[in-house]
A = this chain, B = another copy of it.
Amino acid sequence: MVQAEQGAPLYQQLAQRLWEGVDRASMADGERLPSVRLLAAQYGVSLTTALQALRWLETRGYIEARPRSGYFVAKRMRRTKRTGGAAETKHASAKRWVRPVAELDAQARDHLAIAGAPSAVRLDLASAEATLYPVDRFSVLLRRLAYQHRDLLVGSHVRGSGYPALRAQIARQAIQYACELDPDELVVTNGCVEALNLALRAVARPGDVIAVESPTYFVLLQMLRALEMPAYPIPCVPESGIDVDALKAALDRGVPIKAVVTVANGNNPLGSVPSDAAKRALVELLRERDIALIEDDIFGDLCFGDTRPRPVRAFDEGHGNVLLCGGFSKSLCPGLRLGWIAGGRFTERVKALKYTTSMATAELQQAAVAQLLAGGGYALHLRRLKAALQSQQHALRDAVMRYFPEGTEVTRPAGGFVLWVKLPGIDGAPRDTRTLFERARAEGVSFAPGHLFGEGGAFDDCLRLNAGNRWTSELDAAVRRLGELAAQAEPIVAA
Contact = CB atoms under 8 A, between A and B. Distances in A.
A92 interface: no
A147 B139 CA distance: 6
A354 B226 CA distance: 10
A135 B227 CA distance: 38
Given A130-B155, A136-B150, A154-B334, A197 B358 contact: yes
A2 B194 CA distance: 46
A191 interface: yes
Given A156-B334, A334-B155, A353 B135 contact: no
B349 A102 contact: yes
A67 B379 CA distance: 64
A101 B203 CA distance: 10
Interface stretch (A56-64, A112-120, A232-240, A482-490): A112-120
B352 A191 contact: no
Contacts of A197: 356-358
Contacts of A143: 142-143, 146-147
Nearest to A127: B157
A353 B228 CA distance: 12
Count this chain's copies in the assembly.
2
A17 B116 CA distance: 55
A337 B361 contact: yes
Contact of A150 (B115, B127, B135, B356): B135
Interface in A202-239: 202, 205-206, 219, 222-223, 226-228
Contacts of A223: 356-357
B362 A335 contact: yes
Interface of A: 100-104, 108, 112, 115-116, 118, 125, 127, 130, 133, 135-136, 138-139, 142-143, 146-147, 150-160, 189-191, 193-194, 197, 201-202, 205-206, 219, 222-223, 226-228, 329, 333-338, 348-349, 351-353, 355-365
Given A133-B153, A335-B362, 4 more contacts: A146-B146, A197-B357, A222-B352, A357-B357
